[in-house]
Amino acid sequence: MVDVFNDFDHEDGDRLLESFRERSPNMFRVLESARAAGVSPVYVNDERGRWQSDAPGLIREALAGKSGKLIAPLAPAAGDAVLLKHRYSAFDHTALDVLLGSMQVDRVILVGAATEGCVVQTAIDARERGLKVSIVVNACATTDHELELTALRYASLVGGAHLERVMQDGRRERCEP
């Protein structure tokens, strides 16, 4: 789960929020399918320049904000791993690779925001670390649909990421960029 806790109070926040509203039900489907399969979700969220290392506080603040009802179904359950980041990739200067190694993970399934930035950069970094990667395209929010398509094509054709869509019943199927 990449950057699902957002206040949407930034330059492209309204466009991202619009996309997030449309795609958050799919994020929830992926999350619930993972939990039902016994797969522990891992959350990596931008700390938004706060430098306080307070993941619970960041989540509480996001849930109390204007998009709180929208993101509440995506909130971590007790025991879910939550890491904070300060760059685009969830791997860049975080403990994510150590955490995934301790969990013996060999594939990551990415959902979150924004596709053309943090999600694709995380996918590329995961591949560079030898992990298999799937991006669930209709469970990732975007600020720009054209840029999203370009980023997904790059992630797929150059980066080797699998692109998938989540269906209404929670199943995922491969798709093209």
pLDDT of residue 75: 97
Q: Is 133 inside any structural domain? A: yes
Q: Is 5 inside any structural domain? A: no
**CB 152, CB 115: distance < 8 Å:** yes
Q: Is 2 inside any structural domain? A: no
Tell me the pLDDT of the chain averaged across its residues: 96
User: In a structure prediction context, what are the per-residue pLDDT tens digits for the chain, which is 177 residues long?
Assistant: 999 999 898 899 999 999 999 999 999 999 999 999 999 999 999 998 888 889 999 999 999 998 999 999 999 999 999 999 999 999 999 999 999 999 999 999 999 999 999 999 999 999 999 999 999 999 999 999 999 999 999 999 999 999 999 999 989 999 987
Number of H helices, E strands in the chain: 6, 6
Instruction: Please list, in sequence order, all residues whose beta carbon lies within 8 angstroms of the beta carbon of residue 171, skipping any fewer than 6 positions away.
Output: 33
Q: Is 4 inside any structural domain? A: no
Instruction: Tally the C-alpha atoms within 13 A of residue 160's C-alpha that lie toward its C-beta.
Output: 12
Domain count, the chain: 1
Q: Is 7 inside any structural domain? A: no
Closest Cα partner for 88 from 113, 122, 63?
A: 122
Q: Is 1 inside any structural domain? A: no
Q: What is the pLDDT of residues 43-91, one digit of tens each?
A: 999 998 888 889 999 999 999 998 999 999 999 999 999 999 999 999 9
Q: Is 3 inside any structural domain? A: no
Per DSSP, the residues of 6-50 read ----STTHHHHHHHHHHHHHHHHHHHHHHHHTTPPPEEEEE-TT-
Residue 144: which CATH number? 3.40.50.850
Q: Is 69 inside any structural domain? A: yes
Q: Name the residue range of residue 157's domain.
A: 13-174
